[in-house]
Amino acid sequence: MTVKAVIAPSILAADFGDLAADAKNVIDLGADTLHVDIMDGHFVPNMSIGAPVVKSLRKHLPNAFLDCHLMVSDPEKWVQDFANAGANNYTFHVEAHADPSALIDKIHAAGMKAGVAVKPGTPVEEVIPFAEKADLILIMTVEPGFGGQSFMPSVMPKVEALRKQFPNLDIQVDGGLGLNTIETAASAGANVIVAGTSVFAATDRKAVIEGLRTVVNAKY
């Protein structure tokens, strides 16, 4: 296997009043990427931020990898906006687009990596056809829309199925990840770990980041 741990703190749990500094802090402490949750109030019952915030983050963090997770009802509409803003990865939900393969092509053509996400209630078979074409598959471990939810171990068979079939795939998990749940996720085969509250609310953020990485890397 060639996969490695990627620790991606979710800025949804950061201090939005001092976002650039808070985001820079976790990068300086060893985080690999910043996970940016984009919610439109339609696909999920919450609203967050858009491309202008990504553009501002890029200005303050020119070298950071910005992993944008689009929880929106029309993901194709925003591809170029996020590319122009400086996003590195653009993940959309398989439930939100009729032709995921074509959308992956569009994202790649815009110069970004492409991810495909699946909600807890959607069968993993919906994303398997795109696992070789996409750069990552995101298995949601909570219902998308709000931070601070509890990790759902019931979705781990999806991770296991993907890892068995695609040993070199980047498999991302998002929702309720922390030092108390990482063993379950890593054992199932997840290597890209989105962690919001567990990192940003920690008194020792570096210890959490390193702890998550150590558990994941021990599996490979």
State how far the alpha carbon of 164 is from the alpha carbons of 21, 57, 90, 112, 121, in Å: 39, 36, 25, 26, 20
> With bands split at pLDDT 50, 70 and 90, how would you rate the model's confidence at 146?
low
Please state, in angstroms and rounded to a whole number, the distance separating the CA atoms of residues 195 and 125.
25
Binding site for a divalent metal cation, by residue number, is 35, 37, 69, 174
Burial of 82 (0-12, 13-18, 19+ CB in 10 A): buried
pLDDT at 1: 54
pLDDT at 39: 87
Instruction: Express each pLDDT in 61-117 by its tens digit.
Output: 999 999 999 999 899 999 999 999 999 999 999 998 889 999 999 999 999 999 999
- Number of H-type helices and E-type strands within the chain: 8, 8
The C-alpha angle with vertex 100 and arms to 31 and 154, in degrees rounded to 5, equals 60
Q: Tokens 């991606």 belong to which residue?
A: 8
Give this prediction's pTM.
0.95
Please state, in angstroms and rounded to a whole number, the distance separating the CA atoms of residues 53 and 205.
23
Given a cut of 90, is residue 192 above it in pLDDT?
A: yes
What ranges do the domains of the chain cover?
6-217
Contact yes or no for 151/181 (Cβ under 8 A): yes
β-bridge pairing 66-71 and 136-140: unpaired
Instruction: Express each pLDDT in 1-11 by its tens digit.
Output: 579 999 999 99
Binding site, by residue number, is 10, 35, 37, 69, 145-148, 174, 176, 196-197
What CATH number is given for 6-217 in this structure? 3.20.20.70
Token output for 158: 């999806």
List active site positions. 37, 174
